Amino acid sequence: MAAGIDDISIYIPRLYIDAADFAEARGLDPVKLQKGLGVSQMAIVDANQDPAILAANACLKIMQKNKLSPEDIGRLYVSTESSFDESKAMNSFVIGMLEQVYGQGAFEHCGGVETKFACVSGSYALYDNTNWIRAGEAEGKHALVVVSDIAKYDMGSSGEMTQGAGAVVMLLNDNPRLLAFDPKVTSTSIKDEYDFYRPFGKETPIVHGQYSNMLYMIQVRKALEAYKKKVISTKLINIEQGETILDHMDYINMHLPYSNMGKKALAYLVRHEWRQLPRWKKVLQEIGMDEPIPKDPRGTIESVLGDEEFMAKDHEFTKLFTKTPEYQEVYESKLASSLIASSMIGNLYTASLYLGFRSSLEFEYQKGIQLEGKRIGFGSYGSGSSAMVFSGVIQPEFEEIVKNMNLEAEIGERRRLTWEEYEELHENKLSPEESMLKSKKEFSLVDVKTETESRGERR
Ligand code: CAA
């Protein structure tokens, strides 16, 4: 049975901090943000928004657009790493808000949980719900998987220049108009690590930035190795002599904590895949630097991450490789269009991979490219740490969804924050009634109570 993404909607806060204003206030070269990281603007939540609000607004949008009623939805999962309750799941908050529109008890039989594994948990939620559909449990109903996050780092920390916020919701069913997932090839990699984590009660994460970058690339590569074995054993793809698995992915979407990380991570995968190919000798000559080979030939996480000198050399090598014409061609044709939304909006943690997918659909379609039948590869990563690699194929009815995509229109009119406004919002100095923008026909926080049964009233 086919199963996959039928439609996709986004909800992005309309406030943003501009990279140039950020750089000026922090005494940084703006080129570091704009060119070094690929960050132009970062969406910032208003005082009357939280991750459940973002998720509910995205869900309402997709339900109204597709004229769905609550009885059509068998499952609603929320994946987030911005959770504000250790027990009450975020999907219950979302259902509470949706029932203000659709009536009390309207979602009574809609199952679901909140899932957590840093930025990768939305991919696990998609996989589990796809299998719920494939197993025939959905009985014609749809699943909603919403990935919603506020990427917020400490003031003055190196992570602060990679913030953002927003939600992406995906409607899943057994007759998807957009993308059908390839069965039996989804692959994972997992290891107990501390590259990025947020202990109980802490609003912002503890981050080992460069370590997390390297771990991301290693984990996705390991998941790709497992994926490769599965596509061969299931005979999904026939990899001919002189080809790599990446040649069989027309587009590749990577997890995007900032847009240039996608470029780096794909380069890392490509350079490791190309090692066995005759063209690799020529590329090595162009780079003019010895390829750093881990002392442990298996390239285990311990052998790579335990060696800072190796990591620095490996980073430099990947950086030089991204500049070669051979990689540029792969980058432009398979990845570049997925980075456009990220540079306008910033990091969305769980949602960043799917915002990238949404971005590539819109901007590739605008080029006049026929997308039907194209295979999309996904490289998902969550700190802590786990990666997932999977793929899907664009369906014949894709155009019904993609032709109306317009990122700017969907975000709405944006407002550039002053530095003082940004600081007030970041430090939670404003109450919901002091929000910068007044909400119209959308959910927003009305009140936030502490030490009571209810965390907040949402309308
Ligand atoms: N002009 C042009 N480019 C410049 C520049 C300038 N003046 N100054 C620096 N750059 C370039 C650097 O060369 C570098 O490019 P490369 O990556 O290609 O080498 C880039 O700009 C960034 O510079 P630094 O590496 O010096 O930046 P930094 O160390 O200050 O911070 C960061 C970067 C580590 C990513 C930091 O922002 C951070 O900690 N972010 C949060 C953690 C994170 O995003 N990790 C990603 C993997 S984990 C994950 O994905 C989970 C998640 O969602 C967070």
CB 98 within 8 A of CB 69: no
Say what the pLDDT of residue 453 is.
Answer: 52
303-342 residues labelled b (16+ CB within 10 A) or e (exposed): ebbebeebbeebbebbebbbebebbeebbeebbbbbbbbb
Rounded to whole angstroms, the Cα distance separating 412 from 383 reads: 31
Residue whose Cα lies nearest atom 44 of ligand 1: it is 257
Rounded to whole angstroms, the Cα distance separating 132 from 6 reads: 15
For residue 352, give the ligand 1 atom closest to its CA: 53
| Cross-strand partners of 173 | 4
Tokens of 22: 């950020």
Mean pLDDT of 166-187: 98
Residue 405: C-alpha distances to residues 173, 255, 362, 402 (Å): 20, 21, 6, 5
Residue 94: name the closest of 125, 136, 119, 61 by CA.
61
Q: For 113-137, how does the pLDDT look when each residue is reduced to its tens digit (9 = 90+)?
A: 999 999 999 999 999 999 999 999 9
Residue whose Cα lies nearest atom 31 of ligand 1: it is 158
Q: How close is the Cα of 119 to the center of ligand 1, in Å?
A: 17
Q: Which residues are within 8 A (CB) of 97 and not within 5 positions of it... i.e. 6 or more apart?
A: 52, 53, 56, 60, 443, 458, 459
Mean pLDDT of 418-431: 97
Mean pLDDT of 293-322: 85
Q: 301: how many CB neighbours lie within 10 A of its CB?
A: 19
Mean pLDDT of 87-95: 97
Residue whose Cα lies nearest atom 35 of ligand 1: it is 209
Residue whose Cα lies nearest atom 30 of ligand 1: it is 158
- The residue to mutate among 120, 121, 162, having the most atoms of ligand 1 within 8 angstroms of its beta carbon, is 162
Mean pLDDT of the chain: 95
How confident is residue 304, by pLDDT bands cut at 50, 70 and 90?
confident
How confident is residue 297, by pLDDT bands cut at 50, 70 and 90?
low
Is the confidence at residue 455, as pLDDT, over 80? no
Is the confidence at residue 451, as pLDDT, over 70? no
Residue 168: name the closest of 188, 144, 152 by CA.
144
Reduce the DSSP state of residue 191 to 3 states and report it.
coil
Q: For 343-399, how does the pLDDT look when each residue is reduced to its tens digit (9 = 90+)?
A: 999 999 999 999 999 999 999 999 999 999 999 999 999 999 999 999 999 999 999
For ligand 1, residues with CB inside 6 Å are 29, 31-32, 35-37, 118-119, 158-159, 161-162, 196, 207, 209-210, 212-213, 216, 255, 257, 261, 264, 319, 347, 349, 381, 383
Q: How close is the Cα of 343 to the center of ligand 1, in Å?
A: 14
For residue 383, give the ligand 1 atom closest to its CA: 51
How confident is residue 1, by pLDDT bands cut at 50, 70 and 90?
confident
Reduce the DSSP state of residue 380 to 3 states and report it.
strand
Say what the pLDDT of residue 251 is.
Answer: 98
Residue 197: C-alpha distances to residues 157, 193, 222, 228, 384 (Å): 15, 9, 21, 30, 7
Residue whose Cα lies nearest atom 43 of ligand 1: it is 209
How confident is residue 454, by pLDDT bands cut at 50, 70 and 90?
low
Say what the pLDDT of residue 298 is.
Answer: 66
